Amino acid sequence: MSKRMSSKDVNKPRSKKVDTTIIVAVIALIGTLGTALFNSPVILERIRNKPAPTSSSQAQPPTNSSESLPTSALTEGDGDCLTQYFADIDLTRQISIEVGVTDQDYPILREDLSKKDFIGPIGIKLTQNAKMIAALSFVFFNDSHMFIITSIVDSNCQAITKYSNVDRGGDHNAIQDSDTLKVELIQGSYSLRFIYYGPSDFHFNFQQLQ
């Protein structure tokens, strides 16, 4: 007598057997494709050329901007350096003298003449090819016709000590009328002659020495 099937048995899905051969074939195919891609010359080249990540500890410190500047830019000295050096000198008492100039005049103002003892301070910027190479300040004593140097600086406004009165020697800060001041700079040796032209003006000769 045959066994009658219940409704449960009719509705129950039959389990299917998975074909392991297909799975093995798919896995083998994936492995083959991965190996082919990894060994591709294009992929290998990109991997070699890819830069390695840099950690914060390996990052290079920022470069000081002044280290990359050309020397000329560091030694011109026409900016805040000179402004600060001439801070106590009125603009009407500042003059710029270029190398090679002879008999450059500086007019003496009426308010200067009213001072019986001295005129100044007066500031001079010495230039070569329109670039500052040095600067100095002085006062002029009316009675003795004496120019007294108060300071001399280089293009970086650093004090210069190598200068002298080549006509008289002695105190290098004391320059008599028509005497010549010799200054030693990194650009070479220079001479600046001070001339008193009566109560109206001063004259200056500025030359580079051979």
Query: What is the per-residue pLDDT for 55?
Result: 43
Distance CA 55, CA 92 (A): 58
Q: What is the pLDDT of residues 97-148, one digit of tens each?
A: 999 999 899 988 777 766 678 888 999 999 999 999 999 999 999 889 999 9
Distance CA 195, CA 133 (A): 22
User: What are the φ and ψ backbone dihedral angles of 27, each rounded to 5 degrees?
Assistant: -60, -40
For residue 141, which of 163, 166, 116 has the smallest C-alpha distance?
A: 116
> Model-level pTM greater than 0.75?
no
Query: What is the per-residue pLDDT for 33?
Result: 55
Q: What is the pLDDT of residues 165-205, one digit of tens each?
A: 999 989 999 999 999 999 999 999 999 999 998 777 899 99
Could you tell me which residue, 45 or 143, shows the higher pLDDT? 143
Per-residue DSSP letters for 186-208?
TTEEEEEEEEEETTTEEEEEEEE
Whether omega for the bond prior to residue 121 falls within 30 degrees of 0, making it cis, is yes
